[in-house]
Amino acid sequence: MNRFLLVAIALLWAQVSSADNMRLAVTTSFENSGLADVLLPAIKTDIDLDVQLLVVGTGQALKLGAAGDVDAVLVHSKEAEEAFVTAGYGTHRREIMYNDFVIIGPVEDPAGINGAANVIDAMTNIATAKARFVSRGDDSGTHKAERALWAAAGLNIQDHGDWYQAVGSGMGAALNTAAGLNAYIIADRASWLNFGNKKGLSLLFSGDPALYNQYAFLPVDPVKNSHVRNDLAMLLEEWLTGARAAALINGYSIGGEPLFVFNATTD
């Protein structure tokens, strides 16, 4: 028995080590969109780099970057990103691509936001109807965008009643909650299209310029954390802003609908 156990343990431990790898913290909306599954293999073949993804909310991603636990972050909340660079945690901020936020809700649309003139109207309608609304509540990029929209509509989240429910989880988990409660929710278009549990929900409002969602790449500053692989982060940035990435990002679609628009500029 002992010999068998030893062999079993030896087999379990036999693992190969990998080549150059870096850690990139990305938002749950980026991972749930499925784009990562397209980009990572291409990065591996093109520049022989293993990118290890840590899928967290924008808030936690920036926190990991500040602690030096990742080499770069790819997130979507401009204000928080600029604060991150100003505080000296990141070397710079490079815009990569954008998509947009959409408002998802029950097919019956009790708040009547389908056909609202703009997003302010849509948000106001939801609040007036006191229709159930699920908020990410996790300080992610999507959550920050949602709070900004409530503020733009002149509404205070504290005044919302029971109909406003902050779940404090990732994009997919929050969409599951909204599907269960038959509630409204703000999601990024990519995560929504790639989401597998849509029952009872549909896309009710989109297209307002205020719903624009920019993704940016921020390498972590090696001055604060000397072990950070800034060289690899720069290598990745070069690839992400290059022609091959542009083709893959613009070409990525689900059900014939393109999800992201590449907008990195070469300087």
Of residues 76, 86, 68, 67, the one with CA closest to residue 26: 76
Q: Is 131 or 178 the residue whose CB approaches another protein more closely?
A: 178
CA distance 214 to 96: 8
Q: Shortest approach of another protein to residue 160 CB, angstroms?
A: 25
Residue ranges in contact with another protein by CB under 8 A: 1, 4-5, 9, 12-13, 15, 18, 23, 28, 32, 40, 50, 52-55, 67-69, 169-173, 175-176, 179, 194-198, 225, 227
Looking at the Cβ atoms of 59 and 149, the one nearer to another protein is 59
Q: Are 80 and 93 in contact (CB under 8 A)?
A: no
Shortest spacing between CB 1 and another protein, in angstroms: 5
Q: Other C-beta atoms within 10 Å of 32: how many? A: 23
Is the Cβ of residue 128 or residue 202 nearer to another protein in the bound state? Answer: 202
* C-alpha–C-alpha distance, residues 17 and 68, integer Å: 22
Residue partners of 224: CB distance under 8 A and separation at least 6: 68, 88, 89
Please give the helix or strand (H or E) that residue 253 lies within, else none: strand 253-254
Closest distance to another protein from the beta carbon of 68 (Å): 4
Nearer to another protein, 67 or 148 (CB): 67
Tell me the closest approach of the beta carbon of residue 129 to another protein, in angstroms.
26
Nearer to another protein, 15 or 158 (CB): 15
Integer Cα distance of 104 and 195 in angstroms: 12
Q: Is 48 left (phi over 0), alpha (psi -120 to 50) or beta?
A: left
Least separation, in Å, of the C-beta of 61 and another protein? 11
Which one, 106 or 150, has the nearer CB to another protein? Answer: 106
Decide whether 197 or 253 has the Cβ nearer to another protein: 197
Rounded to a whole number of angstroms, the minimum distance from the CB of residue 36 to another protein is 9
Pick 226 or 266: Cβ nearer another protein: 226
Ramachandran class of 130: left when φ > 0, alpha when ψ lies in -120 to 50, beta otherwise: left
**CB of 50 vs another protein, minimal distance in Å:** 8
State the nearest-atom distance from the C-beta of 122 to another protein, in Å: 24
Q: Which phi and psi (to 5°) does residue 161 adopt?
A: -90, -150
From 54, 59, 50, 52, select the one nearest 26 (Cα to Cα).
Answer: 54
* Nearest residue to 93 via CA among 83, 105, 81, 110: 81
